[in-house]
Structure 1
Amino acid sequence: MIFGRLFLFLLTGLRLLSILGPLTFFCYLLSDLMSLMCLRFYLTLCSILAFLCSK
């Protein structure tokens, strides 16, 4: 009886993991992409400012 309940718990846990796993990975990728975009924007801004100041 206890084993059955444990098996059900493990199955539910695995199902949750299979749903949440790719989602968290996607969110992580998205945040990584966003930080890269921000960094690129910041660098572009800095180079534009440097270019304007050098004139």
Structure 2
Amino acid sequence: MLKKGTSRKVAAAKFYSLLCLKKNQCIDIEQKEPYGDIMIKAGPNININTI
């Protein structure tokens, strides 16, 4: 969760990191509605050192 006042640059960097983890199947991401909460859970490769 991002704290109030987090800069756009930091938020974008964290979001990009999530996308990289998703690409490597380290996490699964689900968002049910636009601007809704993003649910993150462990993916099939969570224990593989891919980064």
Larger radius of gyration: 1
Higher relative contact order (CA 8 A, sep 6+): 2
Q: Same fold (TM over 0.5)?
A: no
TM-score, scaled to structure 2: 0.37
- Give the number of the structure whose residues are more often helix, by fraction: 1
- Give the number of the structure whose residues are more often strand, by fraction: 2
TM-score, scaled to structure 1: 0.35
